[in-house]
Structure 1
Amino acid sequence: MAGAKTTPGDERNFLVTNFVKSVYEVDPDWFVMENVPRITSMEDGKVLEYLLDQFAEIGYETEWAVLNAADYGVPQRRRRAFFVGRKSGEGFEFPEGSFRESKDQQTLFADREPPRTVRDAFGDLPSLEPGEEKTAYAADPDGEYQTAMRAGGAGLRNHRAPNHGETVTERIERTAPGEKIPYDSWSQKRRLEFGEPAPTLLAGPRPTYHFAHPTDDRGLSVRERARLQSFPDDYEFRGPIAKQRQMTGNAVPPLLARAVADAIAEQTVPA
């Protein structure tokens, strides 16, 4: 989707074609490609048809599916299109999710575990004032997810709140958890709620915020964003804060990536 709002001749419009070229040149046994869900319906499905034809021409049987990260234990509803190509053998079967997307799905997906929530992601992290940074956890890990996030033993890093002005702080303060923050031109700004997974984390070029903390009157720290993506705490983000936000927002959630990788490993026949 890079360059979608630019001129048709913009070279960024051909990034997906360049991916196909890279697969051809590297010639791996398998490949995985991730993109936004709309790639499957662009131009009435012609882009999808073109992609699958291109992969077939270079020798790959390719399966695709739109996966939701929340189904795989990520505390975030994040739908992305995945393409998995195999050089030889039968087609690929995508892994089944084992978590529900919402607490409301108890009847429809009774055999799945409850969704991981913002509380699961943030529960052991200390409260922050705007602009404040802390390097010590607020509590011992509570539950499987927090324990897994802290398994590397590296301590707490990247936990600094955006330095909001008084006007921004007041807007957040007036917003209830789960509600949109009152902006005329920022419809995606929202205050998170502890009891559900977060909406899709965005990248954005600004160093401020898209989502506000459920109880602190501020935007999220980079570590909180990383927790929503399932990056463990021993993964340190570096560089300007705006770039760290872009990295966390653009990334494939590691738990979802692992689910796809495990499925490939299970379906790979040893030589």
Structure 2
Amino acid sequence: MGLTYDVTPQLANNGFTVAELFAGGGLMAVGLRAAGYDIVWANDFDKSAVKAYLHNLGDHIVPGDITAIDIDSLPDADIIAGGPPCQDYSVAGPGAGEEGERGKLVWRYLEIIERKQPPAFVFENVKGLITKKHRPTFDALLERFKEIGYTASWRLINAWDYGVAQKRERVFIVGVRNDLGFTFEFPEPRSEDYRTQVLRDVIGDLPEPFLHERNPQDGRYSSPYLSRNRVVGWNEPAFTVLTNPRDVSIHPGDSSITMETVRNHTEKHYWSPKSEYTYDQANRVQSMDGPCSTIPAHHNSGQPIHPTQAPRRFTVRECLRIQSVPDSYVLPDDISLSAQYRIVGNGVASRVSYLLGVALAEQLRTALGKDVKEAA
């Protein structure tokens, strides 16, 4: 079967260049490149992410700690894009905020913008950045962008509104240098995109994965007692038999388990999808007829569960499609599975960056008296 999924069709070169900070494996870059940008420089600290970026986007990525890189060594670019690591602001994290080692990187991002003075920048981060706990940092960041000469606008974007089959909310700030004389206007969701994409649209054509494609963490948890989906091998002793039917161990021949066969004795279908789940909740069975819950950056108990092939997590390729990444993007086999999941989960939904990139190019070129091709 040919892999042909692609919701970021390549547009003609738009004449603008991008330097990308905190580039990860390049999921944001996939969208920006498809929108017509020439990505001239990128950076990330994670060696596996750099390897993925090199494999898919080119050798312009520079590995290393952004705080140790000489800002003057960065090439001039029309756009500086990227999202500083978000764990210190995540609603599921410890909440260290700007006091955390990763949280401090938002200020390094600002320092680079101040020194390089690009015509525009695109900043992405988690929803937690605008919660009550971290809102002072967010407001201070907006104020500092203003002080260094930028008009910044921001929006909390749900990827599902923009043609992505995933409920993924992220904060985007787009700043335009004041001398250009305009404020960026976020593109509104189009009727054909707005909450129309569901899992069936993006993974419905994929067959059940071979054993080597499966996540070996399926059913295996660090805590042997009261962990769910605990697959037991034929050559292993069973876990303690429990009285709670929701905490059952799973039969070794799990390839034969279906949504119909896994149920508890009260006839409540444990593996039936619920209408809503909290972030990082275990056993979040998805529905083929709805969007996926947010794809996280880890591959253990917080991963959403496949709708029809439960109990298993989504494969890396399925996660890439749920992140609207085209099938032409391939993660090298020598990157560990945990790193692959991290790269995908930490990335920006490619179609979102694609549409934002198209809108920004249109508005920049209008300000400069030029035209740009519209997105598909």
Normalised to the residue count of structure 1, the TM-score between the two structures is 0.75
- Greater gyration radius: 2
In the aligned structure 1, how far is the partner of 2:95 from the partner of 2:296? Answer: 20
For the structure 1 residues 17 and 117, does the alpha-carbon distance in structure 2 shift closer, same or farther, using more than 3 Å as the test? same
Query: Could you tell me which of 330, 339, 357 is aligned with 1:261?
Result: 357
**Alpha-carbon deviation of 1:26?**
2.4
1:95 aligns with 2:187: yes
**One-letter identity of the residue aligned with 2:183:** G
In the aligned structure 2, how far is the partner of 1:36 from the partner of 1:44? Answer: 11
Partner of 2:338: 242
Q: Deviations over 1:108-150 (max 9, x none)?
A: xxxx666111001111111136xx14xxxxxxxxxxxxxxxxx
Q: Deviations over 1:28-62 (max 9, x none)?
A: 11100001112123447322220111111111110
**Alpha-carbon deviation of 1:219?**
1.3
1:58 aligns with 2:151: no
Partner of 1:226: 320
1:39 aligns with 2:145: no
Q: 1:237, 1:244 within 8 Å by CA — same for their partners in 2?
A: yes
In the aligned structure 2, how far is the partner of 1:34 from the partner of 1:42? Answer: 18
CA RMSD of aligned residues (A): 2.6
Partner of 2:271: 176
Q: 1:95, 1:260 within 8 Å by CA — same for their partners in 2?
A: yes
**One-letter identity of the residue aligned with 2:361:** A
SS in 2 for 1:187: coil
The percent of aligned pairs where both chains have the same amino acid is: 30
Matches within 5 A, 1:18-33: 18-33=108-123
In the aligned structure 1, how far is the partner of 2:302 from the partner of 2:128? Answer: 25
Structure 1 unaligned blocks of 5 or more = 101-111, 134-159, 181-185
In the aligned structure 1, how far is the partner of 2:165 from the partner of 2:274? Answer: 18
**Alpha-carbon deviation of 1:187?**
2.4
In the aligned structure 2, how far is the partner of 1:89 from the partner of 1:178? Answer: 49
Matches within 5 A, 1:63-78: 63-78=153-168
**Alpha-carbon deviation of 1:200?**
1.1
SS in 2 for 1:231: coil
Q: 2:258, 2:309 within 8 Å by CA — same for their partners in 1?
A: no
Q: 1:209, 1:219 within 8 Å by CA — same for their partners in 2?
A: no
In the aligned structure 2, how far is the partner of 1:207 from the partner of 1:241? Answer: 11
1:13 aligns with 2:99: no
Q: How many residues align?
A: 226
Partner of 1:194: 288
Flag the structure with higher helix content: 1
In the aligned structure 2, how far is the partner of 1:207 from the partner of 1:55? Answer: 38
For the structure 1 residues 209 and 127, does the alpha-carbon distance in structure 2 shift closer, same or farther, using more than 3 Å as the test? farther
In the aligned structure 1, how far is the partner of 2:95 from the partner of 2:167? Answer: 28
